[in-house]
Amino acid sequence: MTASSFPFIQGRRTVLRAGALALGLGTAALAFAQPAAWPTRPLSLVVPFPAGGTTDVLARALAEKLSQSLGQPVVVESRPGAGATLGADYVAKAKPDGYTLLMGAVHHTIATSVYKKLPYDFQKDLAPITVVAMVPNVLVINAASTPAKNVAELVALAKAAPGKLAYGSNGNGTAQHLIGTQFQASTGTTLLHVPYKGSGPLTTDLLGGQVAMSFDTITPVLQHIKGGKLRALAVTTARRSSVLPDVPTLEEAGLKGFDIGTWFGVLAPAATPKEIVARLNIEMVKIIRSPDFAQRMQAIGAEPLGGTQEEMARQIREETAKFGKLVKEGGVAIE
């Protein structure tokens, strides 16, 4: 007696074979749908400014810890130029596989309005991961070549020689540039704007007297303030800095409502798998909120933040609108 004598056995075998085939296909489909193991090679964290500035310092501090948590090197790559937009464009167009990230900043929300023809859309082409830190900006002057002891004396110097007093920035369309335009509007002065590619070359020229002043973040100038080569006249945020507690805010110096600081955060190409972006957020927030990282941030005048992807996206939307208004009022535009 053979199995063919019992049709229901034949049918059952057919069903089992079909089921096994379906299970195999389903398993293959599931395996295909799941992202491959990540990361399996080094990551690149792009800094859109030269080495030595705040963006670079923060990126290196984060990259060191992230390398340990991910088990792969995170290499800081400098791609400066055009007010931080060259680096942003590079990452926006990079392969969205989680291996190329951008250390972005408030500058990018300003550049959206300043540059008439950007080759990327900061909100559409990049996916926010988390805000890393906020660093106050500080109005500093060359202590040897600029005799002002406070903001009022600096304003008097500027009014005595309209367009002669030069201030340096990290580039056209950066926070430092916009703070300079707001300072002029608030004080009725006319300053000469000198854009640089980043804090490194700017600080060198500020120390050398090629420019009289800057509104840079605290990090690259802190040691020179403490050393006496630069004089801090005011911070540009609503609150005083914990590392410069004796330096007043611009509002305290008479410029009502002045409150502009610089935040830094990490982004990835927009199409990066959500699972990878979520993993990066978890790892980075854990690092940012650790006591060790907080201590390192305190030493450079930064306030560690960390938060959700949605919070960073909302901040970008709100500040793009806010700075768009300030850019229009200040008449700042770059072809």
Could you report the per-residue pLDDT of 282-327, keeping only the tens digit for each?
A: 999 999 999 999 999 988 889 999 999 999 999 999 999 988 988 8
Is 246 within 8 Å of 214 (Cβ atoms)?
A: no
CA 175 to CA 80: how far, in whole Å?
15
More confident residue, 247 or 18: 247
Residue 32: predicted pLDDT: 40
Is 150 within 8 Å of 294 (Cβ atoms)?
A: no
- For 48-125, strand residue ranges (E) read 74-78, 100-105
The kind and range of the H/E element at 182 are helix 175-187
Two tokens, residue 296: 């390192």
User: Is 0.85 topped by the overall pTM?
Assistant: no
Q: Does the bond joining 304 to the residue before it have cis omega, within 30 degrees of 0?
A: no
DSSP for residue 37: P
Distances (CA, A) of 103 to 44, 132, 145, 269, 291: 10, 9, 34, 12, 22
Residue 320: predicted pLDDT: 94
Provide the Cα torsion 61, 78, 170, 248; round to 10°: 0
Give tens-digit pLDDT for 99-136.
999 999 999 999 998 888 899 999 999 999 999 999 99
- Report helix angle 54-70 to 218-226, nearest 10: 120
